[in-house]
Chain A
Amino acid sequence: MKTEKFPLAISAQAITRPGIPRANSTQAWVWTVALVAAIAMPWLFYNYTTHRHSGFVVSMLSQMGMMSVLALSYNMLLGQAGLFSLCHATFFGIGGYATIHFLNLAGDGSFPLPLELIPILSGLAGLGLAIVFGYMATKQRATAFAMITLGIGELMTTAALMFHHFFGGEGGVNSNRMIGHSLFGFKYGPAIQVYYLIVAWTVISALAMLFLTRTPLGRMANASRDNFERVQFMGYDPRIVRFLQFALSGFFAGIGGGLYAITYEIVTFDALAAPLSANALLMAYIGGTAAFGGPILGAVLITLLQSGVSLMSNSWLVYVGVLFISMVIFAPNGIMGLVQAHGPIVRAGRFGRLLVPYVRVIVPGLVMMAGFVGMVELASFLTIGAAQGKTLVLFGSKIDVHAVLPWLAALICLAGGTLWFGVEARSFRRVWDGLMGDLKSQRSAA
């Protein structure tokens, strides 16, 4: 019973500490707006003359929903427990495969479960596999953990290509989501019905994961990330904490995979291969691992980039990669972290003093970005684009990628912009530090 006393003391301390996500009115407000936007969004793109939803928008929004679940569940590891996993898509994929088989069973009547509840089974499939692999992986942490998960990911991808009965080999497995069993009498033929199912499950999973961050388990996961020895000192086994966290994140990843399977009605090895694991990492990290909502933001942003920019550019992954690396170096708490850093200044009513410095940073930043994008696009049109028979068109005029002028312009933009940006960034830093210093001295005076 001795150990019982400490967790209570710790969690009480943690709740009163600033910086820990707490439900306050601002946050609740942001969440509500996000939910309303998610519900209303398909209707903004509704075509009232043909009475049809935009298929592109609905499928992109659906993708955002399932990717949010994946990124949030990934953040249970990276952000909350400090575990860098490289096999998260494994649980997403296994949830997807299991869902296809459940749909097939439900469809032929041997297992009549309503479609709305099938994601629970997908989650359980993810949980089951995460228990097995989590037992192995969570014996280690840091780099060894990352290596074991890399091995697990490669193992499962190879296995998915090899065993045809469960995984269907290269062609994958497919099914039909119109199984005729529903709690509310929906058919789930149109994509919009499936989209609302995804919204519902995304909200349920997000709330469940938010709840988990406030349980003793969530707190101990944070503690074992921050101070491993201290956790052991208090009589906890950090390994058990890691294991539970890993297993539960596998459960939620499985739900995401279930939604994926219901949407696309086909699951191939892509759903559990390394690129998707990497995507989960990118989404969680770029959005921000320190704030609970960060991964959702990341999932929305990356999906937008994926479906928007990838249509225009062959090299969207370069942009994502550069964004990711600059985040790692300059903003380790992601976009959410950047936004939150402004909190004290906005509350003190001093944000106006940052406006001019912001404009002075953003202008050279845009020049630098234009130069960089120009260089990347010119290079990629020279090789990949040429192989695809495409030409670079900007503002309605064709651009000859073999001419010197576009290259020179891009290079000047990039080099000049970078130098200019460096100067402005330094002066911005001075203003920022000055403001922060003022606030700090005010607070200590008060």
Chain B
Amino acid sequence: MEIVLVSLLNGLVYGMLLFMLASGLTLIFSMMGVLNFAHASVYMIGAYLAFTFSQFLGFFPALIIAPILCGLLGAAIEVWGLRRAHGNGHIAELLFTFGLVFIIQRVVQMIWGMLPMPYRVPPLLDFPLFTFYGAHFPAYRGFMLLISAGMLVATWLLLKKTRVGLIIQAALTQPQMVSALGHNVPRVFTIVFAGGCALAGLAGVIGGNYQTTEPGMADAMGPIVFVVVVFGGLGSLMGCFIASILMGMIQTFAVVINSSLLDLIKPLGVTLTGDNLFTEFMTVPVARIGALLPFALMILILLFRPRGLMGTRDT
């Protein structure tokens, strides 16, 4: 029982972190039709910047500065890169962000080196928040939940209750009409791209010391975030939220389940003998294929429901 509760909380924390990354990505994707492969790279930059600034200024100023810098970086990418690639077609835009992944990866290694950074939880938040069944729940995870829930509410308010949000929402589906009404749609694109990158940067700040800040963190996070966006569906923040939490839960629960396919059919009286690929497939525990599950789920949903969980249109 305590395993279920602990995993539930951890899954929630991880899911909210995923959501911070995925919400920006899904907004960019829905609006510009570009899946930004470099989104997780911005997340990594956010973590590194936060590490550097927290050494000089402390954690809390870094919490504000790093996302702003990431947002500016995003705006620069949109204005000087993506907009130029746009003229060469849709695939060119995808390829452009794909190339950025390489460059950012290596540039980060060049500036900060190949080794993991000693980016730690600030001492102010380094205490167990509460204890149940003998397991501590760190205060920092509570802080992460707080930040990400705050972001969720703020993004929702911004999109639903303000004039800017109204225009963004309109530009998501009817860019030509919005442009005809006299709004500068390219600038809206830039704002959304920058905003998405700032969110990714914020996720990097609070995720960098939750996981490890190292050059491989973008590669580890990137594919999962794409899965969340595609799974949740285009143009739907709600779908994105559900998918994030679901993926967070799957990843944390999978590691604690030790049964295999064989255990499932054992009550039917099936036994397996021999040592071959099939028995290996049947006896591999769920804990070991946890990393595989999100991708299998994504392929399944794209096959049977191309618009994702709550998407409003096909990808």
Contacts and interface: CB of A to CB of B under 8 A. Distances in A.
Interface of A: 78, 82, 84, 136, 139-140, 142-144, 146-148, 150-152, 154-155, 158-159, 162-166, 274, 278, 281, 285, 315, 317-318, 320-322, 324-325, 328-329, 332, 376, 379-380, 382-384, 386-387
A222 B15 CA distance: 42
Nearest to B93: A328
Given A155-B292, A324-B99, A84 B94 contact: yes
Contacts, number: 143
B157 interface: no
25 contacts: A82-B91, A142-B90, A142-B91, A143-B94, A144-B230, A147-B35, A147-B226, A147-B315, A148-B299, A150-B223, A151-B227, A152-B295, A152-B299, A154-B223, A281-B95, A315-B109, A320-B102, A324-B95, A324-B99, A328-B88, A328-B95, A376-B110, A379-B110, A382-B110, A383-B112
Contacts of B230: 144, 147
A158 B275 CA distance: 21
Contact of B114 (A142, A376, A387): A387
A397 B219 CA distance: 38
Interface of B: 29, 33, 35, 81, 84-85, 88-92, 94-96, 98-100, 102-103, 105-107, 109-115, 219, 223, 226-227, 230, 275-277, 280-281, 284, 288-289, 291-292, 295-296, 298-299, 302-303, 306, 314-315
B168 to A, nearest CB: 20
Contacts of B98: 278, 281
Given A144-B230, A383-B113, A328 B302 contact: no
A136 B300 CA distance: 9
Given A140-B302, A163-B277, 13 more contacts: A84-B94, A140-B306, A143-B33, A143-B35, A154-B292, A158-B292, A166-B277, A318-B103, A321-B106, A332-B88, A383-B113, A386-B113, A387-B115
A146 B95 contact: no
Given A84-B95, A324-B102, A383 B85 contact: no
Contacts of B281: 163
B295 A154 contact: yes
A383 B88 contact: no
Given A324-B99, A384-B113, A163 B302 contact: no
Nearest to B113: A383
Contacts of A380: 109-110
Contacts of A318: 102-103, 106-107, 110
Contacts of B84: 329
Contacts of B219: 274
A281 B102 CA distance: 13
Contact of A325 (B94, B99, B115): B99
Secondary structure call for the B interface: helix
Contact of B298 (A142, A147, A317, A376): A147
A155 B299 CA distance: 10
B81 A148 contact: no
B79 to A, nearest CB: 13
Contact of A317 (B89, B106, B112, B284): B106
Given A84-B91, A329-B81, A332-B92, A146 B113 contact: no
B295 A155 contact: yes
Given A142-B90, A317-B106, A136 B99 contact: no
A250 B292 CA distance: 22
Contact of B280 (A155, A164, A285, A329): A164
A144 B25 CA distance: 15
B100 A325 contact: yes
Contact of A136 (B29, B276, B291, B299): B299
Contact of B302 (A147, A383, A387): A147
A41 B245 CA distance: 57
B306 to A, nearest CB: 6
Contacts of B110: 315, 318, 376, 379-380, 382-384
Contacts of A164: 280
A150 B99 contact: no
A162 B115 contact: no
B81 to A, nearest CB: 7
Q: Which 6 A-B pairs have the closest CB atoms?
A: A321-B102, A144-B315, A383-B113, A321-B103, A325-B99, A151-B295
B292 A379 contact: no
> Which residue among A165, A376, A382 has the maximum number of chain B CB atoms within 10 Å of its CB?
A165
B315 A143 contact: yes
Contacts of A154: 223, 292, 295
Contacts of B226: 147, 150
B172 to A, nearest CB: 16
Contacts of B109: 315, 380, 383-384
B276 A328 contact: no
Contact of A151 (B85, B284, B299): B299
A159 B292 contact: yes
A384 B314 CA distance: 44
B77 to A, nearest CB: 11
Contacts of A78: 91
A69 to B, nearest CB: 22
B99 to A, nearest CB: 4
Contacts of A143: 29, 33, 35, 90, 94, 315
B218 to A, nearest CB: 12
B35 A146 contact: yes
A325 B88 CA distance: 12
Contacts of B280: 163-165
Contacts of A317: 102, 105-106
A97 B223 CA distance: 25
Contacts of A322: 103
A132 to B, nearest CB: 11
A317 B306 CA distance: 35
Contacts of B115: 387
A437 to B, nearest CB: 21
A150 B231 CA distance: 13
A142 B315 CA distance: 8
Nearest to A376: B110
B296 A155 contact: yes
Given A158-B292, A325-B103, A146 B302 contact: no
A329 B275 CA distance: 53
> Which residue among A143, A152, A321, A379 has the maximum number of chain B CB atoms within 10 Å of its CB?
A143
A383 B111 contact: yes
Contacts of B107: 318
A422 to B, nearest CB: 13
A165 B298 CA distance: 26
Contacts of B315: 140, 142-144, 147
